[in-house]
Structure 1
Amino acid sequence: MGIVSEFVREQKRYTRSDLKRNFCFSSDEIDGFIKNLKAFGVLKAVKNNSEQCELSDLVDEDIEVTDVESGSDNYLYVFTYVGIITIGSRIIKCYPKYILAETTSVEEMKQVLKVIGKYGSKEQVINLYNGDAEYSSFNILAVILFLLNDYHDYGVYNNSEDIVEINGEGEILWDKTVNDVFPLIINNRPYYMELYTEKTIDDEFDFFKRLHECILTECSKQLETCDLLDLFDLVAVNLSEETLDDFGEVDYILYRLRSELNIQFNTRKQILLKTLYAYIAHNRTLEDSYGVSMYGTNSFNLVWEDVCAEVLSNKLQTPIGQLELPIPLLSKYQPNDKLIDIIRKPVWIGNKEGGRTFDKTAKDTLIPDLITIRHQGGTYQFIIFDAKYYNIQLEQGKPLRGQPGVSDITKQYLYQLAYKDFLDDQQINDVKNYFLMPVQSNEIINKGIAKMDILSSLGLQDIQIRQLPAKIIYDYYLSGRKMDVSLLNI
């Protein structure tokens, strides 16, 4: 059987029969498939009942930890992953839960993968392995993508050598010229008819350059065979007709790589050599029967938070002395303090003997997702955003579901309360509260309001709900542009 590639949606419920049919498994194969994906934490099992079928989000207490029942549809299976998973000859393309259409476009998935890549690149980590303990496996997909992206950014590994020439076009070696060339003396001045020069050239036959080209070509062919090259928006690489066997036994290649690492001090080259070493040492391909490889995330909510923070000019980590405020910063505040520092931490007061007390300050406190200060027409607005990765159903005639919980709502009110003194001191009277949720749309949707009377009665702002067109927001994020907050109809 060749490669079987299938789109699935995060958080959607699938029966065992669905997975068996979609991925063309025999009865003997499907249970191993499910077990492997559960072991890597990308597939969860819940009871097959009407209540679960109505849920749009997975609740931790609903997850079943029992083993897979062979031949049974008593459980529903939920993908808790966004990205690409390869397991043997099966390619699973997991798209985000807000994409509700049964068919998703390749362009949409390509954009999601670019967003995940930009978010993950901040850590500068190659995820060579998936999972831990007995379930850990070499992540060949992550390695292949790193090697190809590294090549497109920096080119082929090269070792250069310095060549000394006579009357060349490189830099003149005056010491060698003076010592080795007989000068012509005219009017007591020496004239050198020949000059030693030096130039640096790349060694086209260097072992490591050829090895790198061979592996890049092999990696490109693997992605092309699995129909993943276009999905990751990569161009095919065909640099070599050699195979790894042409470079000697595996142990010899690894020895040469270790030796090169010992004399190479360039950081990029060190990382590249280590990755080539891992690729050869594990001797794996994407189609290995038992291999599970992944590129993506179990926490797309964190990706969505980062996207919103970047696009909407988050000021949470900005020193307050650099903020545009209605009046100069009062002396009670330090210019280098950040907005996040203004929120007071909980204090625990303990009792000592003799009626005396002591106090301990907690390390953690309330932390908003992002805050923006907007100056518009002489008015300053303090806008508190909370990026919520939810599929809310807030429609007349339909039950409410997929909404943030009570704690999410109360915290959003409390963020305004936490900044009350600062806002009063700096004469900012206009405060806005927003939940931001992704949606598969081409326009911003004003979805409504979330409120709790016991908190809004204190003068706190109710929470506006805005669904943001993910495709457009991602365009801002990937291009490094900021979105005009006024587009939210604030």
Structure 2
Amino acid sequence: MGIISEFVREQKRYAKSDLRRIFRLSSEDVDMFIKNLKAFGVLKTVKNCIEQRELSDLVDGDIEIADVISANDDYLYVFTYVGVITIGSRVIKCYPKYLLSVDKPINEMKKVLKVLGRYGSRKQIVNLYNGDGDRSSFNVLAVILFLLNDYHANGVYNNTEDIVELNGEGEILWDKTINEGFSLISANRPYYIELYTEKTVDDEYDFFKQLHECILTECSNQLKNSGLLELFEMTEIDFTDVTLDSLGDVDYIMYKLQNELNVQFNTRKQLLLKTLYTYVAHKRTEEDSYGISMYGTNSFNLVWEDVCSEVFNNKLNSTLGQLGLIVSLCEGYKAGDKLIDIIEKPIWSGIDSDGYMFSKTSKETLIPDLITIGCQDGKAQFIIFDAKYYNIQLESGKELRGNPGVGDVTKQYLYQMAYKKFLADHQIEIVKNCFIMPTQADVIVNKGMVKIDMLSNLGLQNIQIRLLPAKIIYEYYLARKIMDVSVLDLD
């Protein structure tokens, strides 16, 4: 059987019969398929009922702890992952839950994978394994992507050799020229007819260069055969017909790599050699047909928060001296303090054994997602954002669902209260509060607002709701550009 590559939507409910049909699994194989995906936390189980079939978001309370897999469709299965998963000969392309009207979002997934790549690149870690302990699995997909991306950034591994030439264009070797060359004497001065020169060239027959080219070609072919080369927008690599077998057995190749590591001190080359070593070491490992590799995340909400934080120029961790306030920093505030430091922390008071009062300050406090400080019509404005990765249904004649909870709403009010004194001290009169959520639409959607009267009656701003076109926000994120908040048209 060849590679089976299919799309699924994050948090959509799938019956067992759906999984059998989509991935062309037998009755025996579908149980192992589900078991392995559940073991790595990318597939959850919920009851098969009308309420669950209509939901688009997964709540922790909905998840069933079901180790025994039912023989029928008593349960629904939910992918809680965004990215690509390979499991045996099957490729699962999990696209974000806000893409509601497409079944095969190839172009959208290309951009999502780029965003995941940039988000993960800051960790600067090659994730060689999925899971831990007995459930760990060699993550060949992550290694393949690292090797291909490294090649596109740095080229093929090379070692150099020094070549001595006669009358070449390299550096003149005066000692060799004087000691071994022929000279003419004129006016007691020697003149050399031929000069020995030295140049450095790449060793085209270097073992590690050939090994690197061989593995790159093999990796490229694996992505091509899986239908992932296009999805990751990578150019096909076809350096050689040489196979790993022709370079030696696994033990010999690993021995050569280890020796090269012992004499190589270039950081990039060391990381590349270690990754090649790991690839070769696991190349011949006999894994079962359900070996899993993953590229992505089951916490896409954190990715969305990071994207919004950069695109809207989050000032939360900026020092007060960097905020560019329209007035000077008031007495009592330090220029080196951060905006987040202004938020008060809970103080716990107790009574000791002698009856004396004491207090302890909590290490934790309220933390907004992001805050933007700007200027509108010559006046300073302070905008408190909460980046929510939700599919909200706020439509006339339909049930409200997929909405932030009451705790999320009250916290937005509390964030404004936390900064009330700072805002007054620095003459910041325009304060706005907003939930921002992703959408597959092409334009920003004003979705309305949410309020709690007893808090808005205190003079606090109600929380506005904006749906942001994810593909446009991603373009800003990937280009490292800042979006002007005026485009949100906040009231």
The answer to whether the Cα contact below 8 Å between 1:113 and 1:232 also exists between their aligned partners in 2 is yes
Query: Distance in 2 between the 1:288 and 1:234 partners?
Result: 28
3-state SS of paired residue (1:355): coil
| Cα distance in 2 between the residues matched to 1:45 and 1:17 | 14
* Alignment-derived partner of residue 372 in structure 2: 372
Give the match for residue 412 of structure 2.
412
2:390 match? 390
The residue number in structure 2 matching 1:226 is 226
Amino acid at match of 2:24: C
Deviations along 1:287-338, one digit per CA (max 9) or x if unpaired, are 9612111111000001101111111111112221121112011242221222
Partner of 1:143: 143
Partner Cα distance (1:182, 1:332) in 2: 82
Q: Write out per-residue CA displacement over residues 67-107 of structure 1, whole angstroms, 9 at most, x where no aligned residue.
A: 24342211010000001111111111100000001423311
Match of residue 210 from structure 1: 210
Aligned runs of 1:230-269 on 2, under 5 Å?
230-269=230-269
Residue of structure 2 in register with 1:29 after alignment:
29
Q: Which residue of 1 aligns with 2:198?
A: 198
Counterpart in the other structure of 1:482: 482
Q: Distance in 2 between matches of 1:353 and 1:226?
A: 69
Q: Secondary structure, in 3 states, of the residue corresponding to 2:110?
A: helix
Instruction: Work out the CA distance in 1 between the residues paired with 2:135 and 2:12.
Output: 25
Deviation of the 1:165 alpha carbon:
2.5
State the shift of 1:225 in Å: 0.7
Cα distance between partner residues in 2 of 1:23 and 1:68: 21
**Do the aligned partners of 1:144 and 1:219 also contact (CA within 8 Å) in 2?**
yes
SS at match of 1:398: coil
Residue type at the aligned position of 1:17 = S
Counterparts of 2:121 and 2:285, CA distance in 1: 24
Aligned match of 1:455: 455
Instruction: Report the residue type matching 1:157 in the other structure.
Output: Y
1:407 partner letter: G
SS where residue 403 of structure 1 aligns? coil
- Cα displacement string for residues 220-249 of structure 1 (whole angstroms, at most 9, x for unaligned residues): 111111111000101100001100101111
- Secondary structure of 2:385's aligned partner: strand
In structure 1, how many angstroms separate the alpha carbons of the residues matched to 2:200 and 2:92?
Answer: 47
Question: Would the aligned equivalents of 2:33 and 2:290 in 1 still touch at CA under 8 Å?
Answer: no
1:416 to 1:178, Cα distance in 2 relative to 1, 3 A: farther
CA contact (8 A) 1:31 1:68 kept: no
Task: Determine the C-alpha separation between the residues in 2 that align with 1:452 and 1:253.
Answer: 67
Cα distance in 2 between the residues matched to 1:286 and 1:423: 63
Give the direction of change, closer, same or farther, for the CA distance of 1:221–1:287 in structure 2 (3 Å limit): farther
SS at match of 2:52: helix
Partner of 1:276: 276
CA distance in 2, matches of 1:382, 1:37: 44
Aligned 8 A contact 1:88 1:287 in 2? no
Partner residue of 1:337? 337
RMSD of aligned Cα (Å): 1.8
Q: Which stretch of structure 1 is more off in the superposition, 324-333 or 127-136? A: 324-333
Q: Secondary structure at the match of 2:237?
A: coil
Unpaired runs of 5+ in structure 2? none
Structure 2 distance, partners of 1:231, 1:310, is 25
In the alignment, is residue 153 of structure 1 matched against residue 144 of structure 2? no
Quick one: distance in 1 between partners of 2:301 and 2:286?
Answer: 28
Matched residue SS, 1:468: strand
Which string of whole-angstrom CA distances, capped at 9 and with x for unpartnered residues, describes residues 380-402 of structure 1?
Answer: 10011110000000001000000
Q: What one-letter code is carried by the residue in structure 1 that aligns with 2:160?
A: S
Q: Is the 8 A contact 1:9 1:94 kept in 2?
A: yes
Preserved contact between residue 222 and residue 286 of structure 1 (Cα < 8 Å): no
Counterparts of 1:10-409 in structure 2, within 5 Å, are: 10-178=10-178, 180-181=180-181, 184-283=184-283, 289-409=289-409
Q: Give the letter aligned to residue 486 of structure 1.
A: S
Q: Return the alpha-carbon distance in structure 2 between the equivalents of residues 271 and 308 of structure 1.
A: 32
* Greater mean alpha carbon deviation, residues 191-200 or residues 114-123: 191-200
- Alpha-carbon distance in 2 for matches of 1:266, 1:232: 28
The 1:174/1:433 distance shift into structure 2, 3 A limit, reads farther
Q: Percent identity?
A: 69
Residue 356 of structure 1 and its aligned partner are, at CA, apart by 2.2
Relative to structure 1, is the Cα distance of residues 87 and 98 closer, same or farther in structure 2, using a 3 angstrom cutoff? same
Q: Post-superposition shift, 1:461?
A: 0.7
- Matched residue type, 1:449: M
What is the CA-CA distance between 1:173 and the residue it aligns to? 3.4
Work out whether residues 141 and 286 of structure 1, in 8 Å CA contact, stay in contact via their aligned partners in 2.
no
* Cα distance in 2, alignment partners of residues 179 and 328 from structure 1: 74
Deviations 1:376-426 (A, max 9, x none): 221110011110000000001000000011111111111111111111111
Task: Please report how far the alpha carbon of residue 186 of structure 1 lies from its aligned counterpart in structure 2 after TM superposition.
Answer: 4.0
Take 2:134 and 2:342, find their aligned partners in 1: how far apart are those partners? 45
Please, which moves more after superposition, 190-199 or 357-366? 190-199
CA apart distance, 1:482: 1.4
**2:440–2:471 CA contact under 8 A, matched in 1:** yes
Equivalent residue number for residue 433 of structure 2: 433
For the residue of structure 1 that corresponds to 2:386, the secondary structure is: strand
Q: How far apart are residue 176 of structure 1 and its match?
A: 4.4
2:95–2:105 Cα contact (<8 Å) kept: no
Deviation at 1:184, TM superposition (A): 4.4
TM-score by length of 1: 0.96
SS in 2 for 1:19: helix
Residues of 1 paired with 2:178 and 2:346: CA distance?
A: 76
CA distance in 2: counterparts of 1:316 and 1:391, whole angstroms: 26
